[in-house]
Amino acid sequence: MAPTPSGYLHLGNAVNFVLTWLLVRRAGGTLHLRIDDLDRTRLRPAYLANIFQTLEWLGLDYDTGPRNPADFEQHYSQLHYLADYQQILKKLRQQPGLLYACTCSRTDILAVAPDGRYPGTCRHRHIPLDTPGAAWRIRLPDDLVVTFTDGWQGTMVINLGRDMGDFVVRKKDGYPAYQIGSVADDLRLGTTLIVRGADLLPSTAAQLWLAQQLPETAGFTAARIQFLHHPLLPGPDGQKLSKSQQQPLERGVQAQAQGPQVVFRAVALLLGLPTEASLSLEQLRQGCVESHW
Ligand SMILES: [Zn+2]
């Protein structure tokens, strides 16, 4: 389970936790809690605390990882691993022409690309990488297609240039970007199963491709790691809820839902299991055992 303490956890996060818990427990695996806190500007103590509160509220146990916010800051924060991430950035930088500096603001990007996908504005501007306040982007080959087998979605063929564009590997503040931290952490922890929402398919494709650029990270492959991208929850109007659409739950699912049954029912719906109102985690686990899950 790999939440980010940049907001209160919403229904989609809780569903992801329960699904991950069910699949790992069913496989007899080791469940790790990892909190991605490289985005320090958006971290708030209340968001960090909310992760532990939500897990307790759902009744989910885990085997390794932080037990509370203090334990997290002291022993598990990604700040303790900055040297590892910087080493990866250093190696990427040594690959000729792979990285380039970008000084575009978010407003600059949205002005030319309303979908927020980076259009490659700084690709040929030759801005020095050490320019203060510049982000580092990775130059994707033209028409790059990443193919991998997903345990839920089947064979995925993702056009990374179209779906994501040259992505950031080092942020303007000098911190490594999410993709670097995520790949490095999964390798260090020996992660063998990653459960994510289908909205993160391009992100997974980006990580798989990024990892193959260096021998140090080449072990991050879909052959060594089983990926499961679950469908997003249907909203009240039947449309899929995107991550941003789920954000308006201001105090998070734990504060706003009547009880965790809301989450269990959503999981049952995704798994095609019966969704009675009083569904418990144990019933959900039994349902998984009895069905093909
Ligand atoms: Zn730029």
pLDDT tens by residue, 40-50: 888 999 999 99
Residue 214: what residue type? L
- Is residue 236 very low, low, confident or very high in pLDDT (cuts 50, 70, 90)? low
Interval between CA 244 and ligand 1 midpoint (Å): 24
Query: Is-contact 5 37, C-beta < 8 A?
Result: yes
Measured CA to CA, the distance from residue 182 to residue 169 in angstroms comes to: 11
Asked if residues 20 and 1 have their Cβ atoms less than 8 Å apart, the reply is yes
Instruction: Write down the pLDDT at residue 205.
Output: 98
- The one-letter amino acid code at 96 reads P
What pLDDT, on the 0 to 100 scale, is given for residue 251? 75
More confident residue, 276 or 93: 93
User: How far is the centre of ligand 1, averaged over its atoms, from the C-alpha of 47 (Å)?
Assistant: 31
Q: How far is the CA of 221 from the centre of ligand 1 (A)?
A: 29
- Identify the burial level of 214 via C-beta atoms within 10 angstroms of its C-beta, where 0-12 means exposed, 13-18 middle and 19 or more buried: middle
Between 290 and 207, the more confident residue is: 207
Range 122-146 average pLDDT:
96
Output the average pLDDT for the chain. Answer: 91
Q: How far is the CA of 140 from the centre of ligand 1 (A)?
A: 14
Residues 6+ apart with CB under 8 A from 282: none
Mean pLDDT across 159-174: 94
Taken in order 65, 69, 74, 77, the sign of the CA dihedral is positive
Q: How far is the CA of 160 from the centre of ligand 1 (A)?
A: 18
Q: Is 107 exposed, middle or buried (0-12, 13-18, 19+ CB in 10 A)?
A: exposed
pLDDT value of residue 274: 85
Q: What's the gap in Å between 40 CA and the centre of ligand 1? A: 22
d(CA 64, CA 277): 32
Residue 114: what pLDDT? Answer: 83
104 CA distance to ligand 1 centroid (A)? 4
Tell me, in angstroms, the distance from the centre of ligand 1 to residue 6's CA.
Answer: 25
Residue 95 banded pLDDT, cuts 50, 70, 90: very high
Find the 122 Cα to ligand 1 centroid distance in Å. Answer: 4
Please say if the pLDDT value at position 178 is more than 90: yes
